[in-house]
Structure 1
Amino acid sequence: MSAILSIGASRNLDGLNHRFMQEIRALAGEGWRLSMRQERSNGVHQLTLFLEDHPEGESLDEMTLILRQFGARVLMDWILEVWEGELIQKRLRAEYPHFHDRERRQIGDKAAHILKRKEEVSKEYIMYRISHDQRILERLVEVLVDYGRIHVDGFLRFRFQDYLQAVDDAVDSAVDEYTMEKEYNEFIHLLRYFLDIQESRLEVVHVYLCPGGFRLLDEGGNPVNNEVVDGISRDYLEHDEISFEDLLISALVTVAPVQVVLHSREEKPVSETLNTIRAVFGDRLHRCPGCERCQPYTSVMAPKKMQP
């Protein structure tokens, strides 16, 4: 009986053991007898693959090489699918202890998504992903073929620091993303609160989005004017860094119409603005499918400043 490869780690290797057994099962029909032994000593989990017998005439050295290369691929898949999650949570516990368990799980999912970049389908991304996985596989093969032994913790710490850095960066980005989303949701909740306590000043407000700004008209086609919206307009004239999207949302919450009808020359107006308005007004918001009022307001050159 010969030991083909041995894998050590600080965590339980039951899942990896199962993967190996599933993969090597087909070899039994070809006369190869393989077995796995799992042990734990001094806090180190050890998984060893043994070759108990092989067909006559088959090269033991060649089969050992093949099995070690095969083992490197199984180990790579396991690291990326299982160990990566542990690395993410370890980073979160160490650097962001103020998050509770549910938040850490949500942030962990975001970090894993960032690492995998599932939304990317371009040729450049495909090449990046192949290159990334190939680098991990090549380094695992190098160690297992030469030595037949590997300790996953040590391998990542000393031989693949760029991967650990990528995990840390993904976690930091996920935390930033989660924090921004949380702040945004709190902002929406506050706007809803203000909207609920406001007395509706108009039954319907028509919002005409145009290049660089917007117009608010009532049901009769008259500009919506009141002291609050006028004040917002004056503030905008003094602070050009304020976006028209922020002003639009503030104006609508101030007027608190029963219904908001959105008119836009574009099929898909600024998505972030529309999403915010939809989140705040819910069923009060309606999109105009196109009417005689739209063209004069959405196709002409709009002023750079908001005109209420």
Structure 2
Amino acid sequence: MLLLLSIGYTNTRNDMYYKFTQLCSYLKEKRVDAAIVESAVGQVNYIKCILKDTEENITFFNECKEFFYAYASNIIYEFISSEYEEKIIKKIVKDSYYYLENKEKTEIIKRCNSLMSGSGTFIAGGLISSISCKNSVIKKIQDYLDNNQEINIEGFVRFRLKNIMSELNVIVDKVVEDYVLEREYSEFIKLLKYFVDIQESKYEIVNIFIKDDSKYQITNEDDLDITDEFFEDFGLDTSGNMSHREDILISALITSSPLKIVIHGFENINFKESIDTLINIFGDRMILCSGCDKCKELVGLFM
């Protein structure tokens, strides 16, 4: 029998054993007579992948060798991630962000773990950092297995992954930064909603017609053009030459607090985030028109 790989670890979970069993099953489908054996010496568990020592099996295995060690490296990384990275992340959050409430810490740890597993949402800088950290660890495992058939995971983490703490620090910082910005945005939106709710509405209905260059035409409930009147306190150049038009549009809508806002020509909008902000502020008072006679008539005026 030929030893392919021996993994030592101090944990009673059998996730790795199951995954290596699947790997051996795949090799058998490729006519490689591989097997997996689990044993324990004291508190250390061992998983050993072995190969039937025949010329035919060795030949087939050599063809699958790169795949075997690449897949094995990913299995070992997943174990390290769940057993070590999660504990390090918890320690970083506890030590560096002790002033946060427990529920906030829990949420941040959850987001960090999701990001590291690849199931989290995009965070500028955080996703890149997590991918970099993951690839760095996997590369170190692969390099080690290129020269060693035996790996003790605890020793490997302690002596070969000394920089993992600093890499995870970067990821936690990015997640916290994103979380704080998200919380501040939510609080700001609540404040604007409150302001809109207590404001007296200047208009029953405001129709906003938008062309693809973000020029606006505003009409009221009587279909009268109120564009100049609507923006008179904000100095908006209605010809469309002024920058930050969407910010001024949001300010004008908040100030006038219409009972209903209808956005026409929605497909021409190039500031989707601003529309999302308006929906968060005005809720059911916001309507995105999917196409009507007014759209065809008034959007055409900009052509």
Q: What TM-score, normalized to structure 1? A: 0.66
Aligned to 1:223: 226
Aligned to 1:92: 93
Shift in alpha-carbon separation, 1:91–1:266, aligned structure 2, 3 A:
same
Aligned to 2:180: 179
Q: Is the 8 A contact 1:16 1:75 kept in 2?
A: no
Structure 1 position 294 matched with structure 2 position 299: yes
Matches within 5 A, 1:1-308: 5=6, 7-8=8-9, 12-16=11-15, 18-19=17-18, 22-23=21-22, 34-37=37-40, 39-40=42-43, 46-49=44-47, 69=69, 72-80=73-81, 83-115=84-116, 116=118, 136-143=137-144, 146=148, 148-152=150-154, 155-156=156-157, 158-161=159-162, 164-209=165-210, 211=213, 214-220=216-222, 221-223=224-226, 230-233=232-235, 243-264=244-265, 266-288=267-289, 289=291, 290-296=295-301, 299=302
Task: Please report how far the alpha carbon of residue 205 of structure 1 lies from its aligned counterpart in structure 2 after TM superposition.
Answer: 0.9
Q: Which stretch shifts more, 88-97 or 185-194?
A: 88-97
Task: Please report how far the alpha carbon of residue 105 of structure 1 lies from its aligned counterpart in structure 2 after TM superposition.
Answer: 3.7
Task: Please report how far the alpha carbon of residue 172 of structure 1 lies from its aligned counterpart in structure 2 after TM superposition.
Answer: 1.7
Aligned residue type for 1:231: D
> What is the aligned length?
272
Aligned residue type for 2:152: I
Q: Distance in 2 between matches of 1:213 and 1:89?
A: 50
**Percent sequence identity over aligned pairs:** 22
- How big is the alpha-carbon RMSD for the aligned residues of Structure 1 and Structure 2? 4.6
Task: Please report how far the alpha carbon of residue 94 of structure 1 lies from its aligned counterpart in structure 2 after TM superposition.
Answer: 2.3
Task: Please report how far the alpha carbon of residue 204 of structure 1 lies from its aligned counterpart in structure 2 after TM superposition.
Answer: 0.5
Task: Please report how far the alpha carbon of residue 13 of structure 1 lies from its aligned counterpart in structure 2 after TM superposition.
Answer: 4.7
Secondary structure, aligned partner of 1:231: coil
Q: Is the 8 A contact 1:229 1:254 kept in 2?
A: no
Q: Distance in 1 between matches of 2:165 and 2:242?
A: 39
Aligned to 2:30: none
Q: Is the 8 A contact 2:9 2:45 kept in 1?
A: yes
Task: Please report how far the alpha carbon of residue 47 of structure 1 lies from its aligned counterpart in structure 2 after TM superposition.
Answer: 2.3
Secondary structure, aligned partner of 1:7: strand
Task: Please report how far the alpha carbon of residue 284 of structure 1 lies from its aligned counterpart in structure 2 after TM superposition.
Answer: 1.2
Q: Is the 8 A contact 1:19 1:74 kept in 2?
A: no
Q: Distance in 2 between matches of 1:106 and 1:5?
A: 37
Q: Distance in 2 between matches of 1:182 and 1:31?
A: 52
Deviation string for 1:238-294 (max 9, x for gaps)? xx9983322222211211111101123744441101101111111111123223122
Deviation string for 1:48-83 (max 9, x for gaps)? 3469x997879xx999xx8x9576453123224554
Q: Distance in 1 between matches of 2:299 and 2:53?
A: 84
Q: Distance in 1 between matches of 2:36 and 2:258?
A: 76
Q: Distance in 1 between matches of 2:198 and 2:21?
A: 62
Q: Is the 8 A contact 2:16 2:76 kept in 1?
A: no
Q: Distance in 1 between matches of 2:140 and 2:280?
A: 48
Shift in alpha-carbon separation, 1:166–1:255, aligned structure 2, 3 A:
same
Q: Is the 8 A contact 1:195 1:253 kept in 2?
A: yes
Aligned residue type for 2:45: L
Deviation string for 1:214-245 (max 9, x for gaps)? 4433233231677x9543338x9xxx998332
Q: Distance in 2 between matches of 1:32 and 1:92?
A: 41
Q: Distance in 2 between matches of 1:139 and 1:110?
A: 25
5+ residue gaps, structure 1, are 41-45, 301-308
Secondary structure, aligned partner of 2:202: coil
Q: Distance in 1 between matches of 2:277 and 2:36?
A: 62
5+ residue gaps, structure 2, are 28-32
Q: Distance in 1 between matches of 2:258 and 2:170?
A: 44
Aligned residue type for 1:292: E
Secondary structure, aligned partner of 2:201: coil
Q: Is the 8 A contact 2:21 2:36 kept in 1?
A: no
Task: Please report how far the alpha carbon of residue 200 of structure 1 lies from its aligned counterpart in structure 2 after TM superposition.
Answer: 1.7
Q: Is the 8 A contact 2:93 2:172 kept in 1?
A: yes
